[in-house]
Each structure stands twice: as C-alpha cells, then as structure tokens.
Amino acid sequence: MNGKVWLVGAGPGDAGLFTLRGKEVLEDAEVVVYDALVGAGVLAMIPEKAELIFAGKRSGNHYLKQEDTNRILLEEAQKGKKVVRLKGGDPFLFGRGGEELELLAENDIPFEIVPGITSAFAVPAYNGIPVTHRDFCSSVHVITGHKRSNNAYDIDFSALVHTKGTLIFLMGIAALPDICKGLLDAGMDPATPAAVLERGTTADQHRIEGTLGTLEQICSETEVLTPAIIVVGKVAALAEEFAWYEKRPLAGIKAAVTRPKELVSGLSAMLRKEGAEVLEMPAIEVHPVSDKRPLQDAIGKLADGQYDWIVFTSPSGVRIFMEELLQDADIRTLANVKIASIGKGSEKALNGYGLKSDFLPSVFDGETLGKELAALCKGGERIFIPRAKIGNKELVEELSKAGAVVDDVATYDTFYENSRVIDEHAAMESGDCDLAVFTSASTVKGFAESLKGLDFTKVNAVCIGRQTCEAAEAYGMKTWTASKATLTDLVECVKVAAAEIKEGKR
C-alpha cells in the first residue's frame, strides 16, 4: 500500500511564519526530506520519530541532485510512509515543487500541497518595505535571479521596466551586475530606489540600500550574505520610515533555549515576542524512572494519609507524578496533604490539574525552599519529594535538620541529547548564537555534556537563579542572573544581556 507525500512550504526563516497546517502535517511525518533554507525554528519542530533526509541546496552547491530528491520521495511513499518534503519559502515559487510532483503523479502516489509564506513578500515586510503602495506602484513582479550555467540571462527587461511596478529578484545576488545592467539598458531611471535584503526574518537580517545606479558598486564593497533578495522600485525608499523589526528589544539576537523538550516552547515564544531568533536546544530529556515501585509505594502512603507535605521541585516532577497518580487514583488522594512548590513553573504545572501550592519560597531555589519550609516544621513532619534521580541535596538536608522525615523519591531521570538537524557546536563556537538561556543547573550540565570540547568561555549564559549561575560559571561561561526565578524575569535578564552583547559587537 502506498503512502503519501506532503509538499510543505516552511516560510522564509522565522518559525512564527510557518503555517498552522504545515506544523500539523509535520508533526505526523514519518520521513522528512528537508532543504538548507528551512529555518532552525521549523527544523526543531520535526518529531523525533521521523527519519531525516537532507536534500539541501545552495547556489552552486547541491547536496542531492533534483532527480535524486524526486526518486527518494517516490521510494519512501511506495514503502507506505507519510513523507513530508519540507522546503524554504513556498514550494511553488521557484522551489521546483512542480518537478517533484511529476514523478509522484506518474506513479499514482497521493500528495497534498501546503503553501508557505514566500520570502518575496515576507522579507521586504520585515524590512519595512510594502511591495505595493497606491502612491508608488500598482503591481509587483517576482523574477528568478538564477540562471542556468553557461546560459544567457533570459529575461525581458524592457517588459519589466514598462510595468512601472515593484521588481523582486530571488536567488539573484550572483547575477546582480546583469540585473542592474539589464534594467538600466532597458531605460529604467538610475535613481530608482533599490535594496538587497540579506537573511530576512532571522537574527542576521541586514539591509543594503542604494539606487539602481549605485547598488552594484555598494554591494561590491562588502560581503553580501545569502540568502538575499533584490528589491527595485520606489517602495524601497520607505524602508527607514516603516522599519519595525530592528526596533524590538531582542532584534538581531539569536538565543539558544535549553529547557527540557516538553517545556521549551513557552520560553521560546516569550523570547520571539521580544524579537529574538530562538534556537531550541533542549539539552536534556526527562523520562520516568524504570523502577516505579518506590513512587507507587509513596502514592500508596499518600492515599493512607501518611504524609503532611508533598514538595515539587520542577514542572517535570509535577507532570510525571500526576501521570502515575492518575493511572489508579484521582485528585482526591491529595486532599489531606499540603503542597509546596519550588517556583512559579511548578505551580503553573499544578494549576493545570486544578491544584494550588500552599507554600512558595521567597527565592525559587532548593536551599531557600528547604530553609523556609523547615521553619514551618515543628519536628516529625512527613514529607514526600517526587523529583529527579539526582536532586539538590540542600533541600533534604535543611528539612532533615528541622526534624522532618523525608522520602526523597526518584521520579524521573535526566538524559542528555544533541539536535539531529542543527550543528549546535558550530553555532556556539562561531558566535552565530549570541547567548544561551538556562532554567536549571541540570540544563547547564546537559548543555555541557552535549557539547563536549566546546570552549565554554565563549558562551554567554543567562541564568534563572543562583544555583544555575554557579553551574554555568563552573564551566567558565560569562553569566547574567535573573532578579527573580521566573520566566518573565528571565526574559528581562536576556534583554539586559543582549544590550551588553550588542554594545560589545560595535
């Protein structure tokens, strides 16, 4: 039985521009064939279960020939698999999507098209350039700037000039001299505003402005980074007036987020809202411990009323504990026990089950939680802590000193991992990633374990609290610490660090 192929446009780079339908299809994929121009934020959405096949293309450098890519799509679908062909931008706008469907159609392989937001319109928008404006033009024209090797540039420049519309050339940097000459020879005014827009919608976005008569010379004096598009037309003069992307606090900053995979999206969304490009690097994964008997025994004691307090030290601990509890019992098991949480994250996880914390420490770390909860103890209190296999010792020590009887139960274990699709080591070593955001000491350790050999003195680390900061400093990282251990304060700390990093780049 044949499978099916989805041809999916991933948009121009910013993960927020990936369509809802595209994300839905990607989450169900068994095989993903992806291009070099797919943004890191979208690549991070590829499910772990999916087989990955790289078919990247850059100017003059094809990892796979087009016919090989076509054949792979056919063969994987013939195996009965759900295949996603993930392409930058829109697959039908100079993306050779039509060619990839021909072989599928010939062999009766079912397929669907999921359009993507094209860089032709999104990149100018992110640079404050409306591709149409009633005071300047009434049409827009998208032209390939790519020409086949050893072939002349086959474009009717006279026809383009006569449209008096906005001209957008994709994949045209190598042909910039030909494009400028062709338009000038066809009679376009040399004073016509023009721009080269590099790496639009990402942290590396940059705009080179000039006129049709000067753009080639300006670009010859600097290195133009690809992918880039060329915009020619009166609307290009509006970029400064309508600029918005670079005005956001974290514009131009690429931030690595290292939370566990199931928690990473919330923090990522907060950073993206402030303008950052987010590289999701969930350096740790958490899984329930293989031997669940101690946890099951503790849940039995809860049901019998043998505990006075249950203490949660992470959202993962809440989730895994509740999953185990609800297999054979319900929320009433917690009716006669008080709940303490280490911070807002754990409390929010509890809220998802209709629960609230009876106690939160003044500072969200294990030592403070232990001391302040111990101050409420009179001696002999029975306390249950479902948490990581390797947890903070100070918490138990402080409670034990107060005479409490503590059951410190390993509920989940921590595993370190690397991304399958992003070269994290290169991103950090080269400085392409400006900073890393850490929400616990364990994420620092996971980051270090997954990037062994990295010069950690090059890492700018933004930390949620003192213990996380100490863990980062132990590796030699430069650190900033949030004033309070909340995600909101952590994002504010990222803004402070980003301002200092930007200043250092000048």
Instruction: Give the model confidence (pLDDT) of 332-356 as tens digits.
Output: 999 999 999 998 889 999 999 999 9
Give the residue, 282 or 455, on which the prediction is more confident: 455
Least confident interval from 312-326, 384-398, 435-449: 384-398
Residue-averaged pLDDT of the chain: 90
For residue range 60-104, what is the model confidence (pLDDT) as tens digits?
Answer: 445 678 889 999 999 999 999 999 999 999 999 988 888 899 999
Q: For 238, phi and psi rounded to 5 degrees?
A: -90, 0
Please give the full DSSP string across 215-239, using - where no structure is assigned. HHHHHHTSPPPSSEEEEESGGGGGH
Q: Containing H/E element for 388?
A: strand 382-388
The predicted model gives 190-204 an average pLDDT of 96
**Does residue 149 have a pLDDT over 80?**
no
Helix (H, G, I), strand (E, B) or coil at 139: coil
**Does residue 455 have a pLDDT over 80?**
yes
**Does residue 58 have a pLDDT over 60?**
no
**Does residue 159 have a pLDDT over 90?**
yes
At position 174, the amino acid (one-letter code) is A
**Does residue 262 have a pLDDT over 80?**
no
For residue range 220-239, what is the model confidence (pLDDT) as tens digits?
Answer: 999 999 999 999 999 999 99
Which pairs from 96-101 meet CB under 8 Å and 24+ separation? 96/66, 97/7, 99/66, 99/70, 100/7, 100/66, 100/69, 100/70, 100/73, 101/7
Do 129 and 195 contact (CB within 8 A), yes or no? yes
pLDDT at site 65: 86
pLDDT at site 87: 94
**Does residue 191 have a pLDDT over 80?**
yes
For residue range 32-51, what is the model confidence (pLDDT) as tens digits?
Answer: 999 988 998 899 889 889 99
**Does residue 285 have a pLDDT over 80?**
no
**Does residue 59 have a pLDDT over 60?**
no
pLDDT at site 52: 94
**Pairing mode, strands 193-198 and 228-232:** antiparallel
At position 363, the amino acid (one-letter code) is V
Least confident interval from 17-21, 313-317, 386-390: 386-390
Contact residues for 164 (Cβ-Cβ < 8 A; gap 6+): 137, 138, 139
pLDDT at site 264: 62
**Does residue 433 have a pLDDT over 70?**
yes
Please give the full DSSP string across 420-452, using - where no structure is assigned. SSS-HHHHHHTT-S-EEEESSHHHHHHHHHHTT
Grade residue 148 by pLDDT with cuts at 50, 70 and 90.
low
Grade residue 150 by pLDDT with cuts at 50, 70 and 90.
low
The predicted model gives 360-379 an average pLDDT of 90
pLDDT at site 483: 93
Q: Report in angstroms the alpha-carbon separations of 318 from 173, 268, 396, 398.
A: 52, 21, 18, 22
pLDDT at site 53: 94
**Does residue 265 have a pLDDT over 80?**
no
What are the structural domains, with CATH classification, of the chain?
Answer: 4-117 (3.40.1010.10), 121-247 (3.30.950.10), 254-283+417-505 (3.40.50.10090), 287-415 (3.40.50.10090)
233 closest CA partner among 120, 311, 92, 146: 120
**Pairing mode, strands 82-87 and 111-114:** unpaired
Q: Which residues are catalytic?
A: 35, 57
483 closest CA partner among 496, 470, 472: 496
